[in-house]
Amino acid sequence: MANETQLNKELVGGNATVINRTFQQNGSATVINPIAACTSELSAGQVLCGKYSVVKKMDIVTGEADLYLVEYNNVQYVAKIYRRKVAIKPEISQKLMNIKSKYVAAIYETGEVNGFPMEIIPYYRYGSLQGRKYTYEQLKKDVIPSLNEGLKVLHDNGILHKDLKPSNIMVGDNLKDVAIIDFGISSAREDNNTIIVTKTGMTPEYSAPETFRNLFLEESDYYSLGITLYELFCGYTPYNNMEQEAIEQYISVQRIPFPDDMPEDLQNLIAACTYYDITNRKNKSNPNRRWTYEEVKKWYNGIKQVIPGEGIGNTEVGDMNPYKFMGETYVEVAELTKALALNWNEGKKQLFRGILSGFFKGCNPELAGFCIDAEEEATRVNGRDDMIFWKLLYKLSPNTTDFYWKGRAYQGLPALGREILEKLWKTDTSNDTYYYEILEEKMLSNYVAIKADKNKALADAVKGLEDGHKMADTGRAKKKNLYLMAYMLSGQKLMHFDGKDFRTVGEFADYMKELLDESYEKFEAVCHKLIDYEDNLDVQFESWLLALGKKKELNSWREGLRN
């Protein structure tokens, strides 16, 4: 721990209270200012501010200040004497002197020693959180509530800490509560404004993405909280030993690597506190924004919330802002997508009137981009609105396996195949045009390309159906292709004939033999249903045999008829 300023080292050993780190070139240190000339040594018994008696100088090395253990009315304090002419900003110091909270280190007195600024601050006998590890239960019960309340107190008083990390968090006398210290680079903000800052003094490992653009917000302190919690659980930060430039590049893609032993609930909290996008931060109804006080409090109170960012944590509440459509409110992208598909024409209006893109601009820029691309494509290609809308649905909800087309949704191709087969068995032709359109528009090929692009056998099969439909020049040929479509998609190789279901040729042969044994007339009647007087096979019977792989046998039979 040679690179750390340690408070009360002789009492706490390895659990040192870190006030600051000495200046290092690797970017891991907090730098207030270079080491200046040391202030004059104070003697034991010397009185500061007219009442604080010096006990001894702390055994520390710091580039920021000298620390002295002092005493007043049998209570120990720390006198922090800065090595620069300006210490904490006067407006920060004044605010802190008015704060009475066990979660924020107080400033009891200010003054000067030999021309250098001095503060009287609390003495934390148990040191800082630097180097400590906590269990999930300890963090949730004690540490997180304390830090959350401490940040709220600071923010309510217009203070942005700007350097929250374990070394700037002290253990309270009850060994449970913690308090935030070290306001050397803190800034005051007014009217909830963004603070324009420089990077001086900030620790890159704990710094939010926006701070690398010289911006600091209340949300920036909560980013630091997230990284701090990560370190307190793991013993290291996710950016351990990385250079500042590498950290900036890393956090820009929002991918904190969580260890396997970290509880998912804690992962969710850290992910929410370190969420990258803060563009819509003032919209409190937007779930896709970085968490601050209210959300963190709900978390440790066990209240379920949306975790900002796709694919992270609990999505039972929803993964987007509420979207009102056709008299209903949707908070799940997948559910909204299905509603758009089922209400096809109205869904297209939502897209091509810019309503969808405008909505997603506020909560999901990626989805907004998909919508804008679709709008632009529609202006370039006439008459393809349905196909453009259809492709967008799968970009909005890429994990869905549903097959969408013009107001209907099927749970994958098998469900579509089963519906077609049942309609054919009932001789219900009301949907035939719809099914033919699916083939004409090559929807099956498009669906397979999106959902199963590596399944060449399936791709070839659906292409064969589409080509078959294109070449069909009679109603019988179209119906045969429809049967083949139903058999192929559903995976059901059933022939529903004469009120019975047959799965194999053997089963059907046994049935025909039973008919013959029973009555030749019945046998003959069934034969005429299967083969007409022009030697055309029943459409279902022929399609069924083809689906069973009996093409060779059928060709042999036809060849025999010709001979």
Query: pLDDT tens digits, residue range 54-90?
Result: 999 988 666 678 899 999 999 999 999 988 776 778 8
Please name the residues in contact with 255: beta carbons below 8 A apart, sequence gap of 6 or more.
Answer: none
Plot region of 31 (φ>0 → left; ψ -120 to 50 → alpha; else → beta): beta
> Which DSSP state fits 504?
S
Q: What phi and psi, each to the nearest 5 degrees, are found at residue 53? A: -90, 130
Q: Where in the chain is the domain with CATH 1.10.510.10?
A: 136-300
Give the length of the chain: 563
How many angstroms separate the Cα of 313 from the Cα of each of 229, 264, 268, 269, 316?
17, 7, 5, 9, 9
Sign of the alpha-carbon torsion through 452, 457, 462, 466: positive
367: which 2 tokens? 């989805």
> Which DSSP state fits 170?
E
Q: What is the pLDDT of residue 258?
A: 87
Q: What is the pLDDT of residue 315?
A: 38
Helix, strand, coil share (%) of the chain residues, nearest 5: 45, 15, 40
72 three-state secondary structure: strand
CATH numeric code, 136-300: 1.10.510.10
Q: What phi and psi, each to the nearest 5 degrees, are found at residue 362? A: -85, -15
Q: Where in the chain is the domain with CATH 3.30.200.20?
A: 4-122
Tokens 């719809």: give the residue: 434
144: which 2 tokens? 């997180």
* Residues of the chain with confidence (pLDDT) below 70: 1-40, 60-63, 86, 190-201, 241, 245-246, 248-255, 279-280, 283-286, 309-319, 563
Q: What is the pLDDT of residue 188?
A: 85
CATH numeric code, 4-122: 3.30.200.20
Please name the residues in contact with 310: beta carbons below 8 A apart, sequence gap of 6 or more.
Answer: 319, 364
25: which 2 tokens? 């070139």
CA pair distance 157, 163, nearest whole angstrom: 17
* E-state strands within 391-434: 403-405, 408-410
Cβ atoms 246, 146 nearer than 8 A: no
End-to-end CA distance of the chain: 99
Sign of the alpha-carbon torsion through 268, 274, 278, 284: positive
CA pair distance 391, 404, nearest whole angstrom: 10
Tokens 């040679």: give the residue: 2
